[in-house]
Amino acid sequence: MDHTLLDGHTPPEKGDRVRVRVLRSSNGNLAVDRPFKDRPLRLTGVDDALSIPDAPGTYEVRGTVTTAAFADANGPDYFVFEEYAVDHVSEDLLQLPSEHSDTTPDSGEVSGVDVDVEDVLPGELTEEQDTSDGLSSGTKRLGDSLNDLLIGSR
Question: What is the model's pTM?
Answer: 0.61
pLDDT for 48: 77
Quote the pLDDT of residue 145: 28
- Report whether 51 contacts 35 (CB < 8 A): no
Residue 30 maps to a domain: yes
Residues 6+ away with beta carbon under 8 Å from 16 = 4, 64, 65, 68
Q: Is residue 42 part of a domain?
A: yes
Count the domains in the chain: 1
Query: What letter would DSSP give residue 76?
Result: P
Task: Write out the E strands in the chain.
Answer: 4-5, 17-24, 30-33, 41-45, 57-69, 77-90, 93-95, 115-116, 125-131, 134-139, 147-148
Residue 97 lies in a domain: yes
* Domain residue limits at 118: 4-148
Give a yes or no: residue 153 inside a domain.
no
Give 74-131 pLDDT, tens digit per residue.
778 888 998 899 999 999 998 887 755 443 333 333 333 334 455 555 555 555 544 4
